[in-house]
Structure formats: structure tokens, C-alpha cells
């Protein structure tokens, strides 16, 4: 007998009586609040509403109002919304918000949240994308004429660039950032690359936080028995002053942005990995380290706010 999962429960919060920006938070986490709500709050004169699956009341500024949702249509007090700001339209909350955007005749704006692979869900029709770089924008748009974009940079890489480590502080064997959890790459390829690199260089293996499934834990144990150090420490990556290596982890660019030597490597990886390395100027192990990404002149959160403001004003 098949048991249907319960329908998602959405909550709506607002900072004022008549919001002009609707922010979608697909997961009630501090990182989602930082990526989507905080830039919207920087738009001068805008009132903001937040649609979330779950409860973010503890993460919101004081004085916000919670609203009960009845049915699937947008509440009447959202009639003045001109921008719906989300990570996409493929998760429950953002899918509902995309439907609302069409009913409200609002612009649906999607911000890049991580590095882009060919497995990134496509942008919704007539979306406005906020991309890290010009190359990312063109890759994400995939030649479509209905999608517009602004290049705003990455707040994560901006923050990393402000924590630049002195070269003298970086020492010891490399740390390999694990990606056994990723659906983009075959597990056997990720495991083969990690094993070969760690055994040939003396690097330690740092599991991704999502590597908690049974197969990953068995793999970690095999490596320990083979003499590979599996680093289960909770020290944040930004505080590890060691060279960083991975296949396609965001952590490589983050390390490079902070001034630490960082490389990529891969054992018989698919062609898209090589395209990914080229697009982000990632350097392979054995050569010069990955250069630090270019720091944009305007902080990305401010650039996002400026883009949202232009859309509200009708000048974008």
C-alpha cells in the first residue's frame, strides 16, 4: 500500500502591510536567510514578505507579522508585489511562488546560490537571473532569449576574500574535500579519485557533511583500514590552513579566494567536469594553484539589492 507524503505546509510573513518584494525560503536555515532575505531587506523603501515551508520566525527581524494561507492563490495583500525572489521554481515553496508571480504579474528573479553544473535545473520562463559571473550567466541561460540577467558576484567568495590567509600560515599535507554524496558524479568516480589522491600524496579525506549514509560510512571505514586519514573534525573549512583539493567542490574556489593554495583533480572524470574547471579557472593538481576569483567592485548583497530595486522601478 502506497502512503502519500503529507502536503507541504507553507507560512507567510511580512514586514509591512503591503509588501513589494516576496522572498522565497525553501529551507528555514540561516544560509537561505542570508542568501535571499538579507539582500531584499537592503532595497530602500521596499516592504518584504517571506514565503517558507516551515517556520523562520526565529530567524526574522523583530516585528514581522505571520499570515495564515487559505488555498493556493496569493493573498490580496500581496497585490502590490512586483518582484518574487527565489532560488528557482523546482521546490515546493518556490514552485508555489512561481505560480503566484504569474497571477501577480510580478517579475520572477532567481539568484545563483552555488557553482553551476549541467545538472542545474533550468531557469523558469521569462526569469531574471542574478549570476556570479558573465560566464555563469551565459551557461545558465543556455541561449534562451526569454531570460535576462545581471552579474552580481558571489557573497560567499566575497566573504572569503576578506579572510585572506598569509602564505606562511598554510602548511601540511593537502585536505581532499569529499563529494561521495553528489548526484552529479558517479560514486565510483568520486571514490576512485579520492583514494588515488590521498594514497599518493598523504592527503587526509574530509567527508562532506552529507556523507552520513551507510555506503559512505562503509567507504570511510575501508579507507581508514587502508591507512587514509579521514578527518571527521568539525573545524570549519575556512579555518583549515592547509592546501585544498577536490573534484568540483565550491570549497576549492572558496580556499583560493581566501589566499590558500587550492587545486582540482579527477580520475577519468566526464567531459563536463573539464568544462566546469575551465569556466571557473580551476587548476589541476601538479601545476600552479587556482587563482583567486576576481572580487567585484560592489559587495554582491548590495548588487542584488540594486538589481531588485531597478526591477521594482521598471528600469531593468
Each residue's pLDDT tens digit, 266-299 = 989 999 999 999 999 999 999 999 999 998 989 9
List, for residues 208-223, the tens digit of each pLDDT value: 988 999 999 999 999 9
Q: Is residue 285 part of a domain?
A: no
Range of the domain at 73: 10-153+297-313
Task: For residues 97 and 184, state if they share a domain.
Answer: no
**β pairing state of 148-151 and 128-131:** parallel
Do 132 and 29 sit in the same domain of this protein? yes
Over residues 43-58, mean pLDDT: 88
* Residue 232, domain member (yes or no): yes
Q: Note whether 43 and 304 are within 8 A (CB).
A: no
The Cα 96–Cα 61 span in angstroms is: 24
SS3 content of the chain, % helix, strand, coil (to 5): 35, 15, 50
Q: What is the mean pLDDT of residues 145-157?
A: 95
Q: Residue 153: left (phi > 0), alpha (psi -120 to 50), or beta?
A: left
pLDDT at 60: 85
Of the spans 20-24, 58-62, 235-239, which averages the highest pLDDT?
A: 20-24
Cell readout for 113 is 546560490
- Is the residue at 42 inside a domain? yes
Same domain, 23 and 148: yes
- Please say if the pLDDT value at position 312 is more than 70: yes
| Model confidence at 259: pLDDT above 80 | yes
* pLDDT at residue 171, rounded to an integer: 79
State yes or no: pLDDT of 192 exceeds 70. yes
pLDDT at 315 exceeding the cut of 80: no
Domains held by the chain: number: 2
Query: Strands, DSSP E only, in the chain?
Result: 10-14, 21-25, 48-53, 65-67, 83-86, 107-111, 128-131, 148-151, 175-177, 204-206, 244-246, 262-264
Please state whether beta strands 65-67 and 10-14 pair in parallel, antiparallel, or not at all (unpaired): antiparallel
Average pLDDT, stretch 176-198? Answer: 94
Q: Does residue 14 sit in the same domain as residue 148?
A: yes
Tell me what pLDDT residue 68 has: 81
For residues 172 and 254, state if they share a domain: yes
Tell me how crowded residue 73 is: count the other CB atoms within 10 A of its CB: 11
246 with 253: CB under 8 angstroms? no
Residues 135 and 176 in one domain: no
Residue 29 has a pLDDT of 77
> What's residue 286's pLDDT?
93
Co-location of 115 and 59 in the same domain = yes
Pairwise CA distance, residues 226 & 222, whole Å:
6
The pLDDT of residue 167 is above 70:
no
Q: CA dist 300 to 8, 16, 108, 173, Å?
A: 32, 25, 19, 33
Residue indicated by cell numbers 500500500? 1
User: Distance between CA atoms of 201 and 177, rounded to whole angstroms?
Assistant: 14
pLDDT of 249 reads 94
pLDDT at 195 over 90: yes
Helix (H/G/I), strand (E/B), else coil: 306: helix
Our CA dihedral for 234, 161, 255, 164, rounded to 10 degrees, sits at -80
Cell numbers at residue 2, please?
502506497
| Joined grid coordinates for residue 271 | 567531459
Q: Do 54 and 178 have their domain in common?
A: no
Q: Look over the chain and give the mean of its residue pLDDT values, rounded to a whole number.
A: 91
Model pLDDT, residue 241: 85
User: Is the same domain home to 139 and 196?
Assistant: no
- Domain identity same for 25 and 127: yes
Inside any domain, residue 2: no
Residue at 96 is within a domain: yes
Which of 136, 142, 94 is CA-nearest to residue 114? 136
Domain membership flag for residue 258: yes
Task: Tell me the pLDDT tens digit for each residue of 224-258.
Answer: 999 999 998 888 888 888 999 999 999 999 999 99
pLDDT at 4 (0 to 100):
63
In a domain, 290, yes or no: no
**Residue-level pLDDT at 269:** 94
The pLDDT score that the predictor gives to residue 39 is 92
Res 1 pLDDT > 80: no
The pLDDT of residue 166 is above 60? no
Long-range contacts of the stretch 124-128 (C-beta < 8 A, 24+): 124/88, 124/89, 124/98, 127/89, 128/307, 128/311, 128/316
Q: What angle do CA 89, 277, 232 make, to 5 degrees?
A: 80
Are both 186 and 81 inside the same structural domain?
A: no
In a domain, 215, yes or no: yes
Percent of the chain with pLDDT over 90: 69
| Cβ-proximal residues to 180 (8 Å cutoff; 6+ apart), any chain | 187, 190, 191, 194, 207, 208, 211, 215, 216, 219
Residues 275 and 144 in one domain: no
pLDDT band at 316 (very low <50, low <70, confident <90, very high): low
Contact present, 242 and 167 (Cβ < 8 Å)? no
CATH number at residue 128: 3.40.50
Residue 176's pLDDT band, with cuts at 50, 70 and 90, is very high
Amino acid at each position: 500500500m502506497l502512503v502519500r507524503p503529507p502536503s507541504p505546509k507553507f507560512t507567510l510573513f511580512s514586514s509591512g502591510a503591503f509588501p513589494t518584494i516576496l522572498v522565497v525560503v525553501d529551507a528555514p536555515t540561516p544560509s537561505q536567510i542570508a542568501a535571499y532575505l538579507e539582500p531584499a531587506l537592503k532595497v530602500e523603501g521596499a516592504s518584504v514578505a517571506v514565503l517558507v515551508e516551515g517556520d523562520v520566525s526565529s530567524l526574522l527581524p523583530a516585528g514581522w507579522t505571520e499570515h495564515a494561507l487559505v488555498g493556493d492563490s496569493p493573498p490580496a495583500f500581496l497585490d502590490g508585489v512586483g518582484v518574487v525572489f527565489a532560488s528557482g521554481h523546482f521546490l515546493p515553496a518556490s514552485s508555489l511562488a512561481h505560480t503566484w508571480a504569474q497571477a501577480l504579474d510580478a517579475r520572477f528573479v532567481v539568484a545563483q546560490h552555488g557553482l553551476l553544473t549541467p545538472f542545474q535545473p533550468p531557469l523558469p520562463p521569462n526569469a531574471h537571473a542574478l549570476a556570479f559571473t558573465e560566464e555563469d550567466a551565459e551557461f545558465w541561460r543556455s541561449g534562451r532569449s526569454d531570460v535576462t540577467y545581471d552579474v552580481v558576484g558571489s557573497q560567499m567568495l566575497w566573504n572569503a576574500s576578506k579572510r585572506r590567509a598569509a602564505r606562511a600560515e598554510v602548511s601540511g599535507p593537502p585536505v581532499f574535500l569529499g563529494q561521495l554524496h553528489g548526484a552529479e558524479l558517479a560514486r565510483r568516480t568520486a571514490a576512485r579519485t579520492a583514494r588515488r589522491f590521498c594514497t599518493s600524496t598523504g592527503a587526509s579525506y574530509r567527508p562532506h557533511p552529507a556523507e552520513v549514509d551507510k555506503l559512505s560510512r562503509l567507504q570511510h571505514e575501508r579507507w581508514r583500514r587502508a591507512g587514509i586519514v579521514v578527518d571527521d573534525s568539525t573545524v570549519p573549512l575556512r579555518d583549515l590552513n592547509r592546501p585544498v583539493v577536490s573534484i568540483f567542490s565550491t570549497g576549492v574556489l572558496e580556499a583560493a579566494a581566501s589566499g590558500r593554495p587550492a587545486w582540482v583533480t579527477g580520475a577519468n572524470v566526464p567531459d563536463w567536469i573539464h568544462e566546469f574547471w575551465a569556466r571557473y579557472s580551476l587548476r589541476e593538481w601538479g601545476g600552479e594553484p587556482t587563482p583567486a576569483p576576481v572580487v567585484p567592485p560592489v559587495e554582491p548583497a548590495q548588487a542584488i539589492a540594486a538589481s531588485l530595486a531597478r526591477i521594482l522601478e521598471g528600469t531593468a
